[in-house]
Structure 1
Amino acid sequence: MKSRFLLILVYFIGWTVWLLLSRVLFLIYQPQTQQLDPSTILGVFANGLRMDLSTAGYLTILPALLIAISPGLFPKKISTTLRVITFVELIIVSSVTVADLEVFRAWGFHLDVTPLHFLKSPREAAASVAASPILSLVTLFIGMLLVGSYFFNRLIQQFVSQFEPVRWWIATPALLLAVVALILPIRGGFQLAPMNVSTVYFSPIAFANYAAVTPQWNFMQSCLEGNKYGTNPFAFFEKGQASKTLKSLYQPVAAHQPVISTIRPNVIVIVWESFTAKSVAALGGRTGITPQFEKLTHEGLFFNQFYASGDRSEKGLIALLSGFPAQATASIMTLPAKAEKLPTLGQQFKKAGYQTSFYYGGETEFANIKSYLFHNQFDRIVSKTDFRPSDWNSKWGAHDHIVYNRILSDLSKTKAPFFVSFFTLSSHEPFEVPMKTVITGSDEESLFLNSMYYADQSLGNFIAQAKKQPWWSNTLLIITADHGHRLPVLTSDRVRDFHIPMLWLGGALKATPRVIDQIGSQTDLASTLLRQLNLDASDFKWSRDLLNSQNRPFAYFAFNNGFGIVQPNRHLLFDNTSRQLISSGGTVHKEDIELGEAYEEESYQDFLNK
């Protein structure tokens, strides 16, 4: 019976070692590891060990049960069954390990259920990671399977060969005690609270805490808890207190200075994929990447303190078209039953007698965008199938300049006033563009910047042609982004990843071209725009008029289980798991954190109430 106990113990230790080696691989793969000194790296392993032990406990339960309840089986049958179970576990563990490497590199958080929401559109999901080194990752996955199988098969063979006949009524109860003992590492010890992500957080450096989290444990927990939308996990205040805290942000509507020459202009909203401020020199970004946009900033109202509400496209579209803030642990667009209760700009323009249309070169089924567009009541939705395959890139759909040309053609036959929204895609991974390379280099950053240059060139050509159209003189055109981007890497300050441009221009704009430095969010577009048109914006409760000088300068954004706040001369990023700041700039006060918590609590409750 001793050999059976030893097999359970060594099997558990084997998985622990395997997970430790996976953490080594994670640290090697992630560029942020360069930020960590040796003592912090040691802390990553020391604190992450508890979660490794918990994960190893889960992986050992089934094999341990088999050993405990089958003392009478022939060793060969036990060995074969254990090998099959272990191989299946290796497939799962290795898949998560390899996928997590690229998910964290691209999105900055560990693999959870988020990517699963996009599997209904597998081609677009594949395109999202097309810039990843797929061949290298697949090779790594196969290598892990081969090495893991060899290691565990040798381990199983060595101990099973030592099994001797035992009386089941003695062996099974004793071995079941060993199975029960696995509960201790699984829950993380004897403490009152069981294992959770915050258990392994130990450092003021956010990446060090993330590195201490075991991806397999995190993914499992996300699958178990990620789709439960019953209670508000961000209930930080006594009832009613969060709402009172937010009152300073939402003052009564005041008179404003009109910036357009008519209350019924045509409106075109261009949502530029990944249009980060880091690609615009006027916003402290790289020079020479968006020269056409740079020229246009001198022709209109340039909002230089504008921030994305979230970190993904579907969250950005919701913020822009519905004025609804992004959530840290949910995406309302992926839940059509909730999304259909949101107010939308499409509906408002439809009521006002506008011809409405939405253009996207890709497939609108991705992330439930299509159902949301129908909720907007767009008269016309133009997507991938409306373009020739010869005009598509290899992954997403029609190139930007192709869609711009289609818009110009359609608008020549469209009755005014019209409302058009165009969501671009050429600057999305894998950054394939139909032009001669301008930004040289095969690395990811160079490819991204080159795609931004193409997107800028396409925009410039569109504006040049639009100015020749009879409808231009009565048109307001708004250019902004769906979200920012982690590239190009300029600093380690993540708030810059959410800083995006917004520009208003067009023949209907009567205001003198100038820079507007009012801090605001994507959620504020709806109220700002509708008030200029004297349309009702009261349904957009989270939206504020950025052209109302009495508004308090403020922007909120959400990322994976955390939020950020931007205010004059200061900003912060707050992690919900550790309940601590992970980044800040300027002098941040307790009241600033409480304001962010109040916003998060109230907006998530609104999400639950939909």
Structure 2
Amino acid sequence: METTKKSSLLHSSLVVLLYRLLLVMLFYSISRLVFYAYNQDLLHISDSASLLRIMRGGLTFDVSSMIYLNALVMLLHLLPLPYKYNRGYQRWTTALYWLFNIPAFIFNLGDTIYYRFTGSRTTLSVFTEFANENPFQFLHFFTAYWHLTLIGLGLILLWVYAYSRLKVSQDLPFKGLRFYVASTVSMLVVITLSVGALRGGFTAFTRPIAPNHASVFISKPEQRAMVLNTPFVMIRLAGKQELPEYQYMSDAKMRELFNPVQQADTASLHYGEFKGRNVVIIIWESFAREWVGGLNKDIPGYKGFTPFVDSLLKDSYFFYQATAGGTKSIDAMPSVLAGIQRPLIPFVSSVYSGNKLNSIASFAGRHGYSTRFYHNAPNGSMGFDAMANQLGYQSYRGKTEYNNDDDYDGHWGIWDEEFLQYIVRDLGTMKQPFLATEFTTSSHEPFNIPERYVARFPKGKIPMHRSIRYSDYALEEFFKTAVKQSWYDNTLFVITADHAVGGALEEYKNPFGGHAVPLIIFDPQGKLKGADDTTNVQQSDIMPTLMALLGFTDKYVAYGQDIFADKPNRFTINTIDNAFQIRQGDYLLQYDGTQVLGLYDVRQDRMLKHDLKAEKPEVVSRMLPLFQAFLQDFGQRMRGNKLSLD
């Protein structure tokens, strides 16, 4: 009789629930170890103590995810209802358990790879970013990263097996009133503990745990994603793509330190020298500085994967110290074309995406330019056609206008070589002067290239090397054709990236190197040549620079600066997960909006190994107010729809 009672308790709804919730915790911890195994070269975890601290901190967020995802399952297990011990009831409970947990686990494990591209956990904004894409094209990730797919399948099968080892008995552990009392007390206790777990405590001063709490368990910002889990980030940030109301100082002090309202400086070097010239801006998918041998001469024996770009550098003006503001393709257009450097959240998928903007295209249109935006992808992809219209482009050309699916790569768009040739032909139909922008696609994951080039361009150390080599060749062919056109000599070319992607070199596997991109200005007439290794520049500097080069005198709002103007407080900004980086001079300051995370001398410490914030408080004191003024102004203008002076 005693044995039967113990068995009944062991298989009670409460005990089985706790067992099933522990399985959730266990497999999230295992997935965190998988995350570490795949990304340890990017996480820079120095010792086992740091790893254990991250693993322990991760449990906090795993508990929250477990409760969010399993709230209904928990309730079904805990309700004081005798028929919850029925087999049919339990089948429904099991179905709900897997319905919520397996998709969440797949997303969580999938971020093991996606982190290498974005440096952060995925949020629900990913569904907005790719809303117009064919969802079936993402299935290739399962084959491209088959090793992780096998790990995921193995873990899910192991989870299912472990789940099946303990089932709810059909015998009630207690009879009569005792059952209702025990069930009610159990339910209240579990609910109370769950609320405390979600809030991080039971005092009046605690608030629900948020992603920024991960900072407690890390020593470097890039480690934050390992502490967190994807379901938690998706749930907690759902519907919260808004900027905090930063208020660090009075508005008068803010304006004294930073003012984004600008007008081209007539004293700027090269001001107006390119008045009336055509402009072609090429935003190259995943075009990291790492790929360009000519920008890495300090690395012995490194040749890179862009022989054409290397040759172009000799006749161009280019910058070694250029960075991208964000980590996703959707960050690039506002930054490159409108001077809106990403501040924590992507403009395109935020609640501010409808804000009025000015851009180099809208100003060029006012000065009599024809303007056009090109994108190899299907029309509507990433919302770029809508964004181009919002930025003031007069026309758009995509896969629909190209009108030949034989040249479709099967994933993202028309192959770069064919589409760039189409652009050369189409530019000849535009009234001059024109301003045109192309956003390439071929160097995007899964990094395929046309079959005819597979033997010609070897894989390299990572798959991206071959696709970059192909895109470089496509650009070379573009210029070979363009040089024969009547408009070529009268055109200024600007080449940069949408964002950087970490590759194989250790120099780029950190939050500083991970944002490094080329910024190249090429003038066929040879009026603009040089190599700048001292000026810190960023994507959002492109619009102000072109405003000056073209001699446009309009006032505008931009969070970049004219590259050729004398700016004593020049700085660059980019986002690292849930925090920021500001570079001024040789120093890089990392800040999460409330506390300084690190200070590094990037000239002497490119790998960011030596945190100087305690040693050089005077540098922090000099840089931080400028950064805070930037954030405060940006927040005010975004919330108040004041990014345009019109």
Q: 1:128 to 1:575 in 2, by over 3 A?
A: farther
Q: Deviations over 1:268-302 (max 9, x none)?
A: 11111122111222322641421211222221322
Q: 1:171 to 1:248 in 2, by over 3 A?
A: closer
Q: 1:535 to 1:58 in 2, by over 3 A?
A: closer
Q: Say which of 80, 83, 86 aligns to 1:73.
A: 83
Q: Say which of 430, 434, 441 aligns to 1:418.
A: 434
Q: Say which of 441, 446, 458 aligns to 1:440.
A: 458
Q: Say which of 258, 280, 301 aligns to 1:246.
A: 258
**2:276 corresponds to:** 264
**1:350 corresponds to:** 365
Q: 1:130 to 1:213 in 2, by over 3 A?
A: closer
Count of matched residue positions in the alignment of Structure 1 and Structure 2:
603
Question: Shift of the alpha carbon at 1:472?
Answer: 2.3
Q: Say which of 193, 214, 218 aligns to 2:206.
A: 193
Q: TM-score of the superposition, structure 2-length normalised?
A: 0.84
**1:605 corresponds to:** 636
CA distance in 2, matches of 1:321, 1:252: 16
Question: Shift of the alpha carbon at 1:176?
Answer: 2.7
Q: Which moved more, 1:181-190 or 1:275-284?
A: 181-190
Q: Secondary structure at the match of 1:510?
A: coil
Q: Say which of 37, 49, 53 aligns to 1:39.
A: 49
**1:151 corresponds to:** 162
Q: Say which of 15, 19, 23 aligns to 2:28.
A: 19
Question: Shift of the alpha carbon at 1:412?
Answer: 3.0
Q: Secondary structure at the match of 1:430?
A: coil
Q: Does 1:471 align with 2:487?
A: yes
Q: Does 1:299 align with 2:315?
A: yes
**1:273 corresponds to:** 285
Q: Deviations over 1:450-493 (max 9, x none)?
A: 22222222222322332232222322122222222222433233
CA distance in 2, matches of 1:129, 1:578: 41
Written as runs of structure 1 = structure 2, the 5 A alignment for 1:104-503 is 104-123=115-134, 126=137, 130=141, 133-157=144-168, 161=171, 163-167=173-177, 169-182=180-193, 183-190=195-202, 192-194=205-207, 195-200=209-214, 201-223=216-238, 225-227=239-241, 229=242, 232-246=244-258, 253=265, 255-258=267-270, 261-284=273-296, 286-328=302-344, 330-334=345-349, 338-339=353-354, 341-387=356-402, 388-434=404-450, 435-437=453-455, 440-441=458-459, 445=462, 447-491=463-507, 492-503=509-520
CA distance in 1, matches of 2:147, 2:91: 31
8 Å CA contact 1:357, 1:421 repeated in 2: yes
Q: 1:279 to 1:353 in 2, by over 3 A?
A: same
Question: Shift of the alpha carbon at 1:415?
Answer: 2.7
8 Å CA contact 2:540, 2:560 repeated in 1: yes
**1:527 corresponds to:** 544
CA distance in 2, matches of 1:523, 1:268: 16
Q: Deviations over 1:136-160 (max 9, x none)?
A: 4444444444332332233233x55
8 Å CA contact 2:221, 2:576 repeated in 1: no
What residue identity is the alignment partner of 1:298?
A: K
Question: Shift of the alpha carbon at 1:253?
Answer: 3.5
CA distance in 1, matches of 2:304, 2:97: 54
Q: 1:5 to 1:538 in 2, by over 3 A?
A: same
Q: Say which of 522, 532, 540 aligns to 2:557.
A: 540
What residue identity is the alignment partner of 2:119?
A: G
8 Å CA contact 2:248, 2:628 repeated in 1: yes
Q: Secondary structure at the match of 2:363?
A: helix
8 Å CA contact 1:325, 1:557 repeated in 2: yes
Q: Deviations over 1:231-279 (max 9, x none)?
A: 6254444555433332599799351233675521111111111221112
Which blocks of at least 5 consecutive residues in structure 1 are unaligned?
none
What residue identity is the alignment partner of 1:37?
A: D
Question: Shift of the alpha carbon at 1:341?
Answer: 0.4
Question: Shift of the alpha carbon at 1:551?
Answer: 4.8
Q: Secondary structure at the match of 1:46?
A: helix
What residue identity is the alignment partner of 2:590?
A: L
Q: Secondary structure at the match of 1:394?
A: coil
Q: Deviations over 1:525-580 (max 9, x none)?
A: 11211122221341233232111124533211224322112222222333458752
Q: State the superposition RMSD in angstroms.
A: 3.2
Q: Secondary structure at the match of 1:503?
A: strand
Question: Shift of the alpha carbon at 1:609?
Answer: 2.0
What residue identity is the alignment partner of 1:423?
A: F
Which blocks of at least 5 consecutive residues in structure 2 are unaligned?
1-7, 605-611, 613-618, 642-646
**1:595 corresponds to:** 626
CA distance in 2, matches of 1:82, 1:473: 70
CA distance in 1, matches of 2:260, 2:335: 21
Q: 1:203 to 1:5 in 2, by over 3 A?
A: same
8 Å CA contact 1:232, 1:608 repeated in 2: no
8 Å CA contact 1:67, 1:78 repeated in 2: no
CA distance in 1, matches of 2:84, 2:75: 16
What residue identity is the alignment partner of 1:54?
A: S
What residue identity is the alignment partner of 2:82?
A: G
Q: 1:442 to 1:361 in 2, by over 3 A?
A: same
**2:609 corresponds to:** none
Identity, in percent, stands at 21
Q: Secondary structure at the match of 1:413?
A: coil
Q: Does 1:580 align with 2:597?
A: yes
**2:37 corresponds to:** 28
CA distance in 1, matches of 2:139, 2:553: 37
